Every structure is written in C-alpha cells, then in structure tokens.
A = this chain, B = another copy of it.
Amino acid sequence: MPKIYISQKEYERRIELVRKELTKRKLDALYLTSGTSFFYLTGYSYIPTERPAALIIPKKGKITFLGPLLEKDHIPLKTKLIEEIKTYTDYPGEKHPIEHFAQFLKEMKLHNKRIGIDNPAGAAGIWGYKGPSIKDKLPKAKFVLAKDIIENMRLVKTEEEIELIKESAKWANLAHTLLQEYTTAGMWDVEISITASYEASLMMKKALGPEYMPTRYGRFPASAGFRGQVGPMSAIPHAIATNRNIQTGDVLITGATADVGGYSCELERTMIVGEPSAKQKKYFKIMLKAQEAALKAFKPGAKCSDVDKAARKVFIKAGVEEFMRHHTGHGLGLEPHEPPWLDIGDQTVLKPGMVLSCEPGIYIPGFAGFRHSDTVLITEDGAEVITYYPRDLDSLTVE
C-alpha cells in the first residue's frame, strides 16, 4: 500500500507531546478551536461553519470533542483518538453553544483548572457567529493563551509528514505537466486549469487506489491553475481571476499542488506564451538568479532572514528592488502558509525537517510578474528541493 496517510502511531505520539507540554506549562488541559489542530492531532477533519467546536486534550482523561450534533456520527468514522463526544443541537440554539461548553468542562472537572487555549473567545467564530467568551462563563478557570503548543510542534516535519509532502509533489507535477500541455493562446485560463486538475485528480486516484480520499472540503485531489495571473495580471501576485483569454506574448504564473493525507506541496512556475521578448527574458533571468541564490542559502543553522536577504541581494544588485512585492517564502505542510517566514523580520533558525516554499518574485505593474515557487526540505547537511518541475525558460515556453 502506498503511504498516503499519517499513521495512528504518529497521532498518538503527537498527543503525547501535547501532554508533556501541558505538564511543563502546569496546564490541566488544552482547549483547541482550530480545525487544523483537530486534524493534526487525530486525523479528523470537518467543515468549519458558524457552529462552535472545540477539542479538549486533558493532561489526564479522555480526549473530548465539544461541538454540533451534526458531527456526532462523523467523528468515529474518521478517528479512534477522540474518546468522548459532547454535543449541542445547533447554533445559536435556545442555550448558546458556549454555555453548553462551560457545562461540558464542568462535567470534565476542568471548570476550576488551568486551561491552555488557542483562541480567547473559545470558538473559531466564522460566518456571522456571535457569542460570549468561554472565560466569562467559567470565571474559576484560568485560561492561558497556548496557541504556540501546536504551532511549535508543526514547525519541524516528521518523516511521515515529509513522505506525504513528497507524494504530493508527484501529483502536483502531473497536474502542472498537463496544465502546460493544454496551455495555448485563445483559451480561458479557468478551462485549462479545471481540465488539468480533473485529469490529474482521476489519475492520482486510480494510481493510489481505493484508500485515497481528499481529506479536506473544497479541494481537488490534485490541481494546477493560474489564479488569474495571465498577461499583465501576472504582475498581481494574488490576482484571483482575469476576464480575458490567454494571448501570445503573455507571461503566466501557475500554481500546482495535491492533497495527500492532508499535506500539500507548493509548485509554481512562470511560463511564457510564444517567443519570449528581450524584456521578458531579462526579468525571468533575474528571478531565476534570485531563486537560485535563495536555494543556496537554505541550510540548517541559517536564519529565515538570511534566505530572504540572499534573494533580495540579487534583486537589489539587478536594480529591480522596486518590483518586489513580498518576501521569499513560508513554511507549509498542513496549511498553504505556515510559520516560519522567509522574511527579513523572522530570525527563526532553520532546522532539519522544516519544509518551506522558495519563491522570490518581481512584479512589473502593467507588464508582467515573474515567480517560481519550489518546496524545499531542510536536511542534516543542506536542503533538498522536493518539487522537480523544470525551472528554465526553454522548458517553460509554450506555443
């Protein structure tokens, strides 16, 4: 069987680490409201809505889900690690969910204890949610902000996590290859994107077998697209969409990824439609040089800011500093962006097992943008580039 999920053993190890940290911080429980944290600790994912949900990891005692009734039958199908499920009917309800949560914490004898929490409100609070703070409902409890417990654990990836990200890179590569094959002047970028994502997703499923499922809502298994970065709109780093079709002479910025057990890589490329102009070649070359400089700076012991500086130095030397619009990259894995940040202001020291994007870019307003993004793993003695799609201009020129 291919390795496409995190093992039960690893989830147990993560929970054990949380409990060790609780002991260290003299906390009696951890109260999590982040769905990503639920998934990280147990493999159970759900669709976040206005309905409050919390996962309680007591130092001793049963791991307990507090949340809406509609998740009751879902949880046991996805994880064996959640030992107790306490639910309210729905939001807002005749009694507010946070009032229920206060009651549930009393039942767990945590109402007068020290509780680490990732969100002071006690609820993620999206889509028009309103409610009191759990703190106000349990005045005898001491709530301590402890968002960093899970964040710190996620900073350095384990072997299992790295394996899933590497598997993701294969299917991102397929999706991107199809995307490039189908890219041609006259087409709507969305059409190319959906076609490539559809085919790559089907092939991924057929290859990985019946066990494979997307783990989170609203995602293609494998996907590639342009996110609106077509022609002059490629100069907008987060363009979302454009309303004109691809034309000869366009610079395109792509993105591809795949969901393997909830983990993803990041693969982005600058492509050019037709023979590249001298101006396009010039900026492409500078961008590539900056990425290469950054890639060389990835190594254990270096600081995140060092990598950002290495890329910046190339841009400054080439006189294109004014066209920079963002830093060099970010951690990734479970979420599209995660700490640490390859930013001049982040002094985090790179460690083996960290996985980050490497994507210095330049954006010339009204003309075009230039950015590749690769996923990089910090190793014991340097770095390994996990994504392997060609980066040179010849390979990325389409007819």
Q: Which residues from chain A sit less than 8 Å from chain B, CB to CB?
A: 45-47, 49-50, 68-74, 77, 89-96, 127-128, 130, 147, 151, 188, 190-191, 194-195, 197-198, 201-202, 205, 210-218, 220-221, 227-228, 233, 235-244, 324-327, 330-331, 335-339, 341, 343-346, 363, 365
Chain B residues with CB under 8 A of A244: 210
Q: Is the CB–CB distance between A93 and B344 below 8 Å?
A: yes
Chain B residues with CB under 8 A of A236: 73-74, 77
Who on chain B is nearest to A199 by CB?
B194
How far, in Å, is A240 (CB) from chain B's closest CB?
Answer: 5
How far, in Å, is A334 (CB) from chain B's closest CB?
Answer: 10
Who on chain B is nearest to A47 by CB?
B238
Q: Is the CB–CB distance between A343 and B90 below 8 Å?
A: yes
How distant is the Cα of A341 from the Cα of B68 in the complex, in angstroms? 14
How distant is the Cα of A320 from the Cα of B95 in the complex, in angstroms? 23
How distant is the Cα of A27 from the Cα of B380 in the complex, in angstroms? 56
Q: Is the CB–CB distance between A240 and B227 below 8 Å?
A: no
Q: Is the CB–CB distance between A243 and B92 below 8 Å?
A: no
How far, in Å, is A149 (CB) from chain B's closest CB?
Answer: 13
Chain B residues with CB under 8 A of A195: 198
How distant is the Cα of A337 from the Cα of B363 in the complex, in angstroms? 36
Q: Is the CB–CB distance between B205 and A325 below 8 Å?
A: no
Q: Is the CB–CB distance between B220 and A241 below 8 Å?
A: no
Determine how many copies of this chain the complex contains. 2
How distant is the Cα of A50 from the Cα of B327 in the complex, in angstroms? 13
Q: Is the CB–CB distance between A69 and B127 below 8 Å?
A: no
From B46, B72, B151, B240, contact of A325 by CB (8 A): B72
Chain B residues with CB under 8 A of A344: 89, 93-94
Which 9 A-B residue pairs are closest in the complex by CB-CB distance?
A: A213-B241, A90-B327, A70-B325, A70-B237, A128-B339, A93-B345, A47-B238, A94-B345, A213-B243
How distant is the Cα of A326 from the Cα of B93 in the complex, in angstroms? 10
Chain B residues with CB under 8 A of A335: 127-128
How far, in Å, is A82 (CB) from chain B's closest CB?
Answer: 15
How distant is the Cα of A216 from the Cα of B47 in the complex, in angstroms? 18
How distant is the Cα of A363 from the Cα of B72 in the complex, in angstroms? 11
From B68, B90, B188, B217, contact of A227 by CB (8 A): B217
Chain B residues with CB under 8 A of A95: 345
Q: Is the CB–CB distance between A190 and B210 below 8 Å?
A: no
Chain B residues with CB under 8 A of A339: 128
Q: Is the CB–CB distance between B213 and A194 below 8 Å?
A: no
How distant is the Cα of A72 from the Cα of B237 in the complex, in angstroms? 10
Other than the given A50-B337, A74-B236, A190-B214, 16 more pairs (CB < 8 A) read A45-B240, A47-B240, A49-B337, A50-B341, A68-B326, A73-B235, A89-B326, A89-B344, A90-B343, A92-B346, A94-B344, A95-B345, A127-B337, A190-B201, A214-B241, A215-B241
Chain B residues with CB under 8 A of A233: 77
Who on chain B is nearest to A232 by CB?
B77
Chain B residues with CB under 8 A of A241: 213-215
How far, in Å, is A311 (CB) from chain B's closest CB?
Answer: 12
Chain B residues with CB under 8 A of A73: 235-236, 325, 363, 365
How far, in Å, is A110 (CB) from chain B's closest CB?
Answer: 25
What are 24 A-B contacts with C-beta separation under 8 Å?
A45-B240, A47-B238, A50-B341, A69-B326, A70-B237, A72-B325, A73-B363, A74-B236, A77-B236, A89-B327, A89-B344, A90-B326, A90-B327, A90-B341, A91-B341, A94-B344, A94-B345, A127-B335, A128-B339, A198-B198, A211-B243, A213-B228, A213-B243, A217-B227
